[in-house]
Structure 1
Amino acid sequence: MTSKERYVPRVTQLDAVELDKEIVSILKNQVINVTKFMTIGFLSRWDPEVDVLLRLIIWKLSVNKICGTFGQQLLSVRYGREFNKNKAYLLAVLTIGSKYLKQRSHEIASATRNPSMSEKVKLLFQWADKTIQVASLVNLLMFLSEGKHPTLADRILGLQPVSLAPSGQSRTVGYSYMTRELLWHGFIELLIFAVPLVNYHALKRRASNLFLWRKKDNDNRGVTFTKCAECNETPVLPHHMGCSHIFCFYCIKANHLADEKYECPLCGFTADDATSVIPLHL
């Protein structure tokens, strides 16, 4: 690739890689949503196989068919003339096969009956994983320097993406799009700063007082040994705050720290302060 019209900027190549990851993630989430009403743990035990199947489907419909990933196609990019069917299969082995072996490395090592051999296989997988991570880091530094081969698999196979955009046309971002992005990121930063300042426990208490009627129980006629008034489970380190209801230590302490005027959710009793939390001696 010598023509500058066919050159693909570094940011476009990296964006294509990230888009490919997002596409797999979106499909994986759809599969999870479809199977969420099945038996608990049904999908988790076959998670590596599901991941491989999805990636193979994507590879079949994109790389093997159109000589470019879906992420590359979204950015008008594909692999160059050096790409062929053999390299397509090798790319699948390097990207999909290696990931599957990593996910199933523990099961593969455990399948060996000899304990010493099993440890050697585990050590082999660990060293292979570390080697790939170091090689990927080196490849990234080389890519940032020379602008070629954004992934380690691309460098091993000598693959270089080329642009499908008309000659002289570069990737541009509209002004309106950039304005929306700036406004959105500014709004997100505002939320990140403002949300932690809002005491939603106090707001919840005030809303409950407005819309719910609860009888005050301030006569302290004894503590009931039943369930935690907050989590409705068997109390752990039982405590009370002066009313006739019992709490877990964590439930009552956490709520007092979040809202100093915390009220009992069953009777509406309010302790004077956090020091009114009293341990219960059985």
Structure 2
Amino acid sequence: MRVLRVGQLDSELLDQELVSLLQQPIQSALSQVSASLHRRFQPEITLFIQLVLYRFSVWSYGASYGAKLQGLRYVHPKSTAFGIPKKVLAMHGALTIVLPYIHSRIRAYGLSRAWPDAPSSDRRRKTWEWLVSLESSYGALGLISFVTFLWNGHFRSIADRMLNMRLVPSQRLVTRDVSYEFMNRQMVWHAFTEFLLFFLPLINRRKLQRRFNRLTSTLAAPFSSKSTSSSKAKSRGKYHSLPDNLCAICAENASLSLNNIASAANAANIFTHTTSQEGAGEDSDGVPAYPIYTPYITSCGHIYCYHCIADRMLRTADESGENDEGWECLRCAEIVTSADRYLVEFNEEVEIDDQFDFDFSPTRGSDEASFFGRGRRGSEYDFSDLDLESESNLSESLSVGYTSLSGLSSSED
């Protein structure tokens, strides 16, 4: 029966792939012990794997694993009911496994001892030339044998031709249909991996995690014994007791910083106050611990630094997306939808031509604040007739809106 040449060549390729596949875990394990260990003993590792595979395939069943996958097996003219004679199999294993190992070791030994560079009269140089001539002769014989194999389809290698071992179908009735199952499986897996590489970057992991945590907390709420207290605490943020003239985001950043322990301790002391008292959140010099620079008022009515509120809202928008909720205020725990510049407008009737030094500190013991400025000529001016935007709550507007400007002055050009 005629055997397909492609099946015989594929069986040899499958055997080589199996050997290389088994070498990888051994080499990776040896590389953990020593970086050069697997390179030194790579021929021995290959020899050991090939001998083990030959023992449990050709020696036992008369066919290699690649030949079994192609539905082929070895036959010999002297084959019996028990298979090919063991003497023939031993010679076949020596020619296909042991002899290539000896050749690779002799060649590596000669190169390490500089046999090609020895004098022409030296024994080592003659041995090297003899080895090179054998390699050339073997290559020429291999080419002739392969061309003959392509011509008649018999004897895939020189060893098979020398021992008269042929590959024949393992069954009498053989279907010559080519199976594309393996190719189809590879194509499906390749398309699936490409789909995952395209789809996974589109998934927002943090958004899914927050929704999952929210769902679990909602499901666990009826079974919690502190559901009433948690609902009451929901209306107040983590920094609800922080004085209004301090930035809650700056205080949170300072409390979370591991490089500034003193600031964290100061922030912890500030948060324990239940009511905001006069002078709260200031150090010994009267300077606020976390002043508000460039104040911006949120949609819930609380004031933060421009840099702080812009950074939090942009970061939340990038992480959450358009469909998710926004950033929660640290004082009232409400969702912040917008933030505008916090301004105190002066009356248009008052014209100020000179540059002044302002003192915005409120007068102690009174409900109103006195404003004084010093002009270029050194004379004092009274700004008690200025009309602020929130005239009824003057003290609170000044303490919240312009605390960060306390002590600042505009110098003369």
TM-score after normalising by structure 2: 0.40
Q: Distance in 1 between matches of 2:94 and 2:174?
A: 36
- Contact 2:8/2:156 (<8 A) preserved: yes
- Contact 2:19/2:50 (<8 A) preserved: yes
Amino acid at match of 2:30: T
Question: CA 1:168–1:98 in 2, change beyond 3 Å: closer, same or farther?
Answer: closer
Question: CA 1:134–1:165 in 2, change beyond 3 Å: closer, same or farther?
Answer: same
Give the stretch that moved more between structures: 117-126 or 106-115. Answer: 106-115
- Contact 1:20/1:69 (<8 A) preserved: yes
Counterpart in 2 of 1:74? 69
| Structure 2 gaps, min length 5 | 78-83, 192-413
Number of residue pairs the alignment of both structures matches: 183
- 1:23 is matched with which residue: 8, 13, 18? 18
Shift of residue 63 of structure 1? 1.1
Shift of residue 29 of structure 1? 1.2
Q: Distance in 2 between matches of 1:27 and 1:178?
A: 22
Shift of residue 34 of structure 1? 2.0
Counterpart in 1 of 2:327? none
- Contact 1:78/1:164 (<8 A) preserved: yes
Instruction: Give 1:62-101 correspondences, 5 Å limit.
Output: 62-82=57-77, 83-101=84-102
Counterpart in 1 of 2:107? 106
Counterpart in 1 of 2:155? 149
Q: Distance in 1 between matches of 2:152 and 2:189?
A: 33
Q: Distance in 2 between matches of 1:35 and 1:171?
A: 43
Amino acid at match of 1:105: I
Q: Identify the structure with the greater helix proportion.
A: 1
- Contact 2:72/2:167 (<8 A) preserved: yes
Shift of residue 149 of structure 1? 0.8
Shift of residue 157 of structure 1? 1.1
Instruction: Give 1:121-160 correspondences, 5 Å limit.
Output: 121-160=127-166
| Structure 1 gaps, min length 5 | 187-282
Counterpart in 1 of 2:55? 60
Shift of residue 179 of structure 1? 5.4
Amino acid at match of 2:52: I
Q: Could you list the per-position Cα deviations for residues 228-258 of structure 1 after superposition, in whole angstroms to 9, with x for gaps in the alignment? A: xxxxxxxxxxxxxxxxxxxxxxxxxxxxxxx
Instruction: Give 1:180-259 correspondences, 5 Å limit.
Output: none
Q: Distance in 1 between matches of 2:138 and 2:190?
A: 34
Counterpart in 2 of 1:32? 27
- 1:13 is matched with which residue: 3, 8, 27? 8
Q: Distance in 1 between matches of 2:183 and 2:39?
A: 40
- The two structures, once aligned, show a CA RMSD in angstroms of 3.0
Question: CA 1:23–1:178 in 2, change beyond 3 Å: closer, same or farther?
Answer: closer
Q: Could you list the per-position Cα deviations for residues 180-222 of structure 1 after superposition, in whole angstroms to 9, with x for gaps in the alignment? A: 6678999xxxxxxxxxxxxxxxxxxxxxxxxxxxxxxxxxxxx
- Contact 1:62/1:68 (<8 A) preserved: yes
Percent identity between matched residues is: 24
- 1:161 is matched with which residue: 167, 177, 188? 167
Q: Distance in 1 between matches of 2:58 and 2:26?
A: 22
Question: CA 1:123–1:37 in 2, change beyond 3 Å: closer, same or farther?
Answer: same
Give the stretch that moved more between structures: 110-119 or 165-174. Answer: 110-119
- Contact 1:10/1:144 (<8 A) preserved: yes
Counterpart in 1 of 2:45? 50
Give the stretch that moved more between structures: 100-109 or 17-26. Answer: 100-109
Question: CA 1:178–1:19 in 2, change beyond 3 Å: closer, same or farther?
Answer: closer
- Contact 2:76/2:164 (<8 A) preserved: no
- Contact 1:63/1:69 (<8 A) preserved: yes
Q: Distance in 2 between matches of 1:52 and 1:178?
A: 31
Give the stretch that moved more between structures: 9-18 or 46-55. Answer: 46-55
- Contact 1:8/1:163 (<8 A) preserved: yes
